[in-house]
């Protein structure tokens, strides 16, 4: 099979190390962060050799070079929810262009002798894993970002590319307490004193709204325009988030200025400029020792993640039973460690790509 363009930069030597079926089943991560699957597909970054671009989900580190992909690729594939989220998170990107093709989970498109299928991943709304199969029966796949508990592993792949955000054995959440229940009880308690500010990333903020709404926390949820627009997309795609109010509307201003009971949702970037005197909850995955700890006079850090921890990554690979693994060493620096641990603990050949962490 012909080897094209950027594949020549790193793939053959890495695959030789892996042995097995050699170049008949191909997957790699380029130095620009593109996850290459088979002959046609580049996921989550632009690659000039690939006619198909897949966007696994709407987080910024998975939208690398999307403008170029929209100009150059024959098709740009994503779920409808991801399309809508990308549009509101990146106001200047118009995705109603002819190259964008929306796929449901489980739906397959054919390109040449390859078949591309998006499979649900539990991460943010719309997130997908990607499976590419060719006429020879080769299966290569990419997990995208995921939480293992709600994600059905792609089985028996020749090569599986796996995310490595928490790919170090140090990144294990050993606490057993239900973090969601703890978050609800903390917010309920703080609401007795007035407004509660929650800081997190897009996607996770809406998950928290859903958790609080599902637990009958019925105060207004107040938020700036961008968070509001992302939340509206989540509602359009079936999430139930509660009573949403713009922070700039009269009602929103009165609630926050008067420190009245409401939950205010802000992006993590606003943490140093908003709600400095209120009760504050920061939600982060980068916390491994305790489900909740105090980090300021009226501020707590809650360990709610939309990624698998180290044990979850290993669990996925163990259940998925791939012949070989490539870890994504572009987006996080733990790719090398995760590849080594997969080889050592599971006996499955694994390499990190690109070899030098490049995000």
The residues binding Zn ion (CB under 5 A) are: 59, 145
Q: What dihedral do alpha carbons 42, 48, 49, 54 form, nearest 10°?
A: 20
Tell me whether residue 196 or residue 227 sits nearer to Zn ion (CB atom). Answer: 227
Smallest gap from residue 106 Cβ to Zn ion (A) = 21
Characterize 27-42 residue by residue with b for buried, 16 or more Cβ atoms within 10 angstroms of its Cβ, and e for exposed. Answer: bbbbbbbbbbbbbbbb
Smallest gap from residue 123 Cβ to Zn ion (A) = 6
Tell me whether residue 48 or residue 61 sits nearer to Zn ion (CB atom). Answer: 61
Tell me whether residue 40 or residue 329 sits nearer to Zn ion (CB atom). Answer: 329
Strands lying side by side in the sheet with 292-296 = 244-246, 221-223, 263-267, 196-200, 279-283, 299-302, 292-296
Tell me whether residue 133 or residue 145 sits nearer to Zn ion (CB atom). Answer: 145
Structure tokens at 162: 């796996």
Smallest gap from residue 328 Cβ to Zn ion (A) = 11
Give yes or no for a contact between 234 and 226, defined as CB atoms under 8 angstroms apart. Answer: no
Smallest gap from residue 145 Cβ to Zn ion (A) = 4
Tell me whether residue 161 or residue 255 sits nearer to Zn ion (CB atom). Answer: 161
Helices 80-89 & 225-236, crossing angle to 10 degrees? 170
Q: Is 220 helix (H, G, I), strand (E, B) or coil?
A: coil
Choose among 145, 141, 103: nearest CA to 124: 145
- 281 phi and psi angles, rounded to 5 deg: -130, 120
Tell me whether residue 173 or residue 300 sits nearer to Zn ion (CB atom). Answer: 173
Smallest gap from residue 185 Cβ to Zn ion (A) = 27
Cis previous bond, 354, omega within 30: yes
Smallest gap from residue 59 Cβ to Zn ion (A) = 4
């Amino acid at each position: 099979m012909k080897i094209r363009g950027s594949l020549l930069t790193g793939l053959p030597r890495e695959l030789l190390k892996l042995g097995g079926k050699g170049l008949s089943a191909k997957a790699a991560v380029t130095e620009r962060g593109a996850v290459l699957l088979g002959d046609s597909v580049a996921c989550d970054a632009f690659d000039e050799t690939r006619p198909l671009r897949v966007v696994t989900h709407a987080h910024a580190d998975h939208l690398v070079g999307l403008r170029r992909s929209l100009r150059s690729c024959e098709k740009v594939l994503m779920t409808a929810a991801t399309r809508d989220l990308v549009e509101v998170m990146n106001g200047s990107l118009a995705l109603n262009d002819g190259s964008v093709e929306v796929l449901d989970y489980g739906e397959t498109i054919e390109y040449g002798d390859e078949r591309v299928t998006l499979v649900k991943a539990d991460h943010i709304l719309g997130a997908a894993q990607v499976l590419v199969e060719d006429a020879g029966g080769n299966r290569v796949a990419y997990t995208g970002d995921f939480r293992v508990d709600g994600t059905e592993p792609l089985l028996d792949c020749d090569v599986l590319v796996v995310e490595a955000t928490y790919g170090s054995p140090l990144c294990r959440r050993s606490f057993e307490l239900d973090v969601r229940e703890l978050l609800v009880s903390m917010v309920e308690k703080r609401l007795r004193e007035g407004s509660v500010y929650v800081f997190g990333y897009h996607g996770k903020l809406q998950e928290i709204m859903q958790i609080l709404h599902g637990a009958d926390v019925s105060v207004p949820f107040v938020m700036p325009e961008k968070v509001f627009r992302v939340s509206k997309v989540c509602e359009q795609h079936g999430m139930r988030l509660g009573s949403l109010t713009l922070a700039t509307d009269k009602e929103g201003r009165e609630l926050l200025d008067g420190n009245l009971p409401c939950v205010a949702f802000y992006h993590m970037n606003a943490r140093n400029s908003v709600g400095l005197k209120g009760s504050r909850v920061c939600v982060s995955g980068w916390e491994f020792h305790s489900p909740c700890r105090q980090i300021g006079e009226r501020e707590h850090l809650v360990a709610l993640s939309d990624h698998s921890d180290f044990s979850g990554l290993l669990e996925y690979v163990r259940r998925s039973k791939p012949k070989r693994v490539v870890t994504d060493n572009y987006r996080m620096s733990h790719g090398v460690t995760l590849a080594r641990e997969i080889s050592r603990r599971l006996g499955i050949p694994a390499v990190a790509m690109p070899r030098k962490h490049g995000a």
